[in-house]
Structure 1
Amino acid sequence: MKMIQHILGQKSILSIMFLINFLGTVYGYYWYRFQLADTPAQFYIFVPDSPTASLFFVIVLLGFLLRTNFPLIEALAIVTLFKYGIWAVIMNILVLISNGSLPWEGYMLIASHFGMAVQGLLYSPYYRFKTWHIIVVAVWTLHNDVIDYVFGMMPRYSDLMDYMTQIGYFTFWLSIFSLFIAYFLVIKKDSYKLSLPQSSS
């Protein structure tokens, strides 16, 4: 596992990951264009959850390429990548169960969002955030849940709108679990840290 993470820290791999996530972020915001068109301006920042998560990771990767760390952004990235990655996978599976079928875009979303969740965890040995960063991210994450499920700004899955109360409850606990994962992988395992390689070889 350490070997895999060492390879992920190579400049060439970081550059590829940066490009993939940058393009995915752009597409993600484009995907939300219709919902954003109907969203009050004060809620814009809370609506496109997945592309914002990948945007955090783009910034993290940029920091790695510059051989620096942005601890708060790293904490935001790992929590939101895992949370919204797993959330989207489960929502699309529920749509498949509800309808008996899923368009090809749904399978693409399952694969891409699962990749989001995994990549955030794989890079955890390179993160340098502290407990106070997790506290700030907890406020952001749980506040986002309130905006989504109290003010009705959650991502739109028309087939599941009748179950928003249950989905909101699930999302709250997914947020808690995501925060725990980040705390365990980065703060509790503080001695297990990797440094970015000096060369791109």
Structure 2
Amino acid sequence: MRWIYPILANRSILWLLLIVNIAGTIYGYYWYGWQLKKTPAIFLPFVPDSPTASLFFVLVLMAFLLKKNWPLLEALAIVTLFKYGIWAVVMNILVFIVQGSLDPVGFMLILSHFAMAVEGLLYAPFYRFKIKHLLIAAIWTLHNDIIDYVFFMLPSYHMLDKFIPQIGYFTFWLSLVSIGIAYYLVVRKNRFKLEIN
């Protein structure tokens, strides 16, 4: 697997990923536009989950291009990219099961969000965050779950409304798994470290 690391460290690849993620982030905030218009201001940072996750990664990529590491953003990126990437894939598959069909946008969301989850993990050898950064990312992520499922600020899929308790339960455990993966891939000792060229 290490053969891929020089490819990921290539500046042209980093620039390509940066452009793609900036475009995806902008589209993501646009996609949430109608929901954000009716969201109370206090909850605005916690509603557009996926574009905020990709925004974290945009900033991480910018740091890489500057030959720097921004550990807190790296922790936020890996946890939220995996969590919301997998979450959106599962939600859109559920929409397909409930409705019996899925429009082209739904299929695009499955592919793009799966790519989000993968890219966050692929760059794990580049991250330099410590347990304190991961704890902050964990608080952010679990707090977001509370905002979503206690105050019902979750992304709106009307056809899945009757499953919100089950979705909330799934999301909580997905958060813990995402935090655990980040710990395993980055924080634990004696792991491979890759320098960015």
Identity of aligned residues (%): 62
SS of the counterpart of 1:101?
coil
In the superposition, relative to structure 1, how do residues 50 and 196 fare at CA in structure 2: closer, same or farther (>3 Å)?
same
Aligned length in residues: 197
Structure 1 runs (4+) deviating above 4 angstroms are none
TM-score by length of 1: 0.97
Deviation of 1:12 (Å)? 0.5
User: What per-residue deviation string (whole Å, max 9, x for no partner) do you get for residues 113-153 of structure 1?
Assistant: 00000000000000000011111111110000000000010
Deviation of 1:30 (Å)? 0.4
Q: Report the more deviating stretch, 7-16 or 188-197.
A: 188-197
The correspondence of residues 54-93 of structure 1 with structure 2, limited to 5 A, is 54-93=54-93
- Mapped pair 1:162 → 2:171: no
The correspondence of residues 167-182 of structure 1 with structure 2, limited to 5 A, is 167-182=167-182
The correspondence of residues 183-194 of structure 1 with structure 2, limited to 5 A, is 183-188=183-188, 190-194=190-194
Q: Distance in 2 between matches of 1:32 and 1:95?
A: 18
**Which structure's relative contact order is higher, taking Cα pairs within 8 Å and 6+ residues apart?**
1
Amino acid aligned to 1:177:
V
Deviation of 1:178 (Å)? 0.1
Give 2:53's aligned residue.
53
SS of the counterpart of 2:19?
helix
* Structure 1: runs of 5+ lacking an equivalent: none
- Mapped pair 1:128 → 2:128: yes
Give 2:32's aligned residue.
32
Deviation of 1:191 (Å)? 2.8
Amino acid aligned to 2:153:
M
- Mapped pair 1:16 → 2:16: yes
* Structure 2: runs of 5+ lacking an equivalent: none
Q: Distance in 1 between matches of 2:187 and 2:45?
A: 28
Q: Distance in 1 between matches of 2:173 and 2:125?
A: 25
The correspondence of residues 95-110 of structure 1 with structure 2, limited to 5 A, is 95-110=95-110
Deviation of 1:6 (Å)? 1.7
TM-score by length of 2: 0.99
Give 2:152's aligned residue.
152
SS of the counterpart of 2:195?
coil
Provide the alpha-carbon RMSD of the alignment: 0.7
Deviation of 1:196 (Å)? 0.7
